[in-house]
Amino acid sequence: MIPMVDLGRQYRLLKEEIDNAILDVLNSSQFILGPNCRELEKEIAAYLGVSHAIGVANGTDALLLALEACGIGPGDEVITTPFTFIATAEVIALAGAAPVFADILPDTFNIDPREVEKKITRKTRAVIPVHLFGMPADMDPIMDLCRRKGVRVIEDCAQSFGAEYRGRKTGSFGDCGCFSFFPSKNLACCGDGGMVVTEDPGIAERIRLLRNHGSRAKYMHGIIGHNSRLDEIQAAVLRVKLKRIDAFNEGRRKAAGLYRRYITGKDVRLPGEREESRHVYHQFTVRSALRDRIAARLNKNGVSTAIYYPVPLHRQEVFSGMKQSAEDLPCADACAREVLSLPMFPELSEEEIRLISSIVNSAF
């Protein structure tokens, strides 16, 4: 059986170092907002080239706190993609604002800047581009548009840690960059974890307050906040893995290159790459009108597959009351009918990729 992601392989590679890091935390008895969290924040800020990084409980909270720190709430509209995990739009609704969906590009699966411009109104307060599957969104036109319109940009980097656009890391362009460290991510902990990064000291200070019950000092609360703190054990694990993130991402890129070499079926559309971007392949997602046939054949032969995402957000029941017509998002609908994600993790072997590819090719 070849899984979508084999977390055990990476743990066995780092077992001694991870185990020791966890034991050090247990022996220290400092579990919340301790030295590992503080050092990880510094290390990630330096890696991404930003001034501030604030650890939070998970990637969903990272997005929600970023929206709140930017002052977005009831009566506001936030434009995002319909082709992403629900958390991206869910947090907009949780903040009291209205999600507005703009269609995507067929090759990268990312939001189309031209469609974003069509959806901007006087109520638009922010845009959330998602760097989906590890491929950076087209940030230059998005940033140019939003700066002209006075609109905030909050990057959803849950799947793109270490990806680059024109030599800069994702998360370093917008007012905030939001990361998830869920166990399957490129940089992953052993549970839930997240982080918000920003260049704005005011936003950074507000997120520090929001993550800790609105408190600047113990039992002193200036605003209504949340309980959303990255714990020390997860921070310690992340510090071990952060030192190797470039090697892990290079392993994913190598695996993607092998898929490109071995998948030859003419009815399979491989994921797009662009010269200005460095894709880090959180997922290797192909498109085919014969998606279901390919998936069935792979599963029959012991190869796991996944569909990210089978139902785009504008067609989810929870957003059925939106005024926006679903018919103006044809690319997202087409992708949802055709996408298939193949196994992808840094330790995937060439032999495994050759086998997976031969099964894909045999479907034709």
Residue 326: the pLDDT is 58
Q: Can you give the residue ranges of every domain in the chain?
A: 7-102+110-242, 245-362
Band of pLDDT at residue 151, cut at 50, 70 and 90: very high
In CATH, 245-362 is 3.40.50.720? no
Which pTM value belongs to this model?
0.97
Kind and range of the H or E run holding 253: helix 245-262
Position 266 scores a pLDDT of: 85
CA distances to 197, 225, 257, 294 from 356, rounded to whole Å, are: 37, 47, 14, 10
Residue 265 has pLDDT above 90, yes or no: no
The CATH code belonging to domain 7-102+110-242 is 3.40.640.10
pLDDT bracket for residue 324 (50, 70, 90): low
Per-residue pLDDT band at 323 (split at 50, 70, 90): low
240-269: average pLDDT: 97
pLDDT band at 55 (very low <50, low <70, confident <90, very high): very high
Strands (E) across the chain are located at 52-56, 77-80, 98-101, 124-128, 152-156, 164-165, 168-169, 176-180, 194-198, 215-217, 220-221, 277-278, 284-287, 339-342
Of 15, 151, 21, 5, give the one whose Cα is nearest residue 77: 151
Residue 255: pLDDT over 90: yes
For residue 37, count other CB atoms closer than 10 A to its CB.
25
Look at residues 135, 140, 131, 125 and name the one whose alpha carbon lies nearest to residue 79.
125
